[in-house]
Amino acid sequence: MTVEDETLMAYVDGELDAAENARVEAALRDDPALRRRAETMQSLRGTLAGHFNPVLSEPVPDHLEALVRKASPDRAPAGTDGGASWLARLLQDWHAPHTIAVASAVAAGILIGTQLTAPGSPGGPFAFENGRMTAGSRLASALDRPGAQNAPSLAVQVSFRHQDGRYCRTFTASGTAGIACRTGGDWQIDLAAPAAGEAGTEVRTAGTALPLTVLDSVDTWMSGDALSAAEEEAAAAHGWQPQ
């Protein structure tokens, strides 16, 4: 079974219908070279998103907003309306990059899910069900423990508070880097991207294997500073639930 490059591209971009999707996923299971190709395409999406999404959280220059308000006949009083639109913008800034990152994580999850079910690789780092990707048991227990973790092919680096209140941690696992956020009783994978360097063959120390996509998303999502060791201990003691 062959998959044309253009079809694979459409798969990665979420443009295929269910039948075509299934055909590509079957081919991905049997063909490691095709999987690498798909991961490269996915990785480019992640790189571009990581690079340009932070623009969404920048304050919009006043003169641009003023241009719209001035031209509009139904101009509202500057004071009250300005306040409301500031809040709306803030909310949008927070949600837009998040949504995009989740969308790309779900796309990456399709790939990872495929690998998970591939013959000879049971029990990967992620669980994927109902369109939601969460940490598998081994990754989850590393994420549960406070402090940086560094096991073979599995590492946890920094922890931070998401602007939406959840605790999140960066990780690398089997060649994938990402951000897991404690959501209910699970570690939900909010961002996944191929780790920098060769895929998962060696253990790297914190930081070096984190691709730009992940670093930029941490910057964008983080509220306050990264957690200190004491703060991690405290958060872990409460099951990483928002207090």
Comparing CB distances to other proteins, the nearer of 147 and 207 is 207
Looking up tokens 């680096």 gives 157
β-sheet bridge partners, residue 220: none
Among 23, 29, 31, 69, binds other proteins (CB under 8 A): 69
16 binds other proteins (CB under 8 A): no
Q: Does 212 bind other proteins (CB under 8 A)?
A: yes
How many angstroms separate the CA atoms of 194 and 209, rounded? 9
Q: Taking CB under 8 A as the rule, does residue 95 contact other proteins?
A: no
Alpha carbon distance 36, 200 (integer Å): 13
| Of the candidates 235, 113, 89, 75, the residue with the CA atom closest to the CA atom of residue 162 | 235
d(Cα 139, Cα 173) in Å, to the nearest integer?
7
Q: Output 143 or 209, the one with its CB closest to other proteins.
A: 209
Select the span of 34-42, 158-166, 170-178, 224-232 touching other proteins (CB under 8 A).
34-42
Start-end of H helices in the chain: 5-12, 18-30, 32-52, 62-71, 78-116, 137-144, 212-221, 229-237
User: ∠ CA(5), CA(11), CA(12), 5° rounding?
Assistant: 90
Interface with other proteins: number of residues (CB under 8 A): 47
**Taking CB under 8 A as the rule, does residue 26 contact other proteins?**
no
CB of residue 24 to other proteins, shortest distance in Å: 15
List Cβ neighbours of 63 (8 Å cut-off, separation of 6 or more): none
Nearest approach, Cβ of residue 207 and other proteins (Å)? 11
Find the shortest distance in angstroms from Cβ 234 to other proteins.
Answer: 27
17 part of the interface to other proteins, by CB under 8 A: no
Interface with other proteins by CB under 8 A: which residues?
A: 5-6, 9-10, 13, 15, 33, 36-37, 40-41, 43-45, 47-49, 51-53, 55-58, 60-61, 63-65, 67-69, 71-72, 74-76, 85, 88-89, 92-93, 96, 100, 103, 212, 215
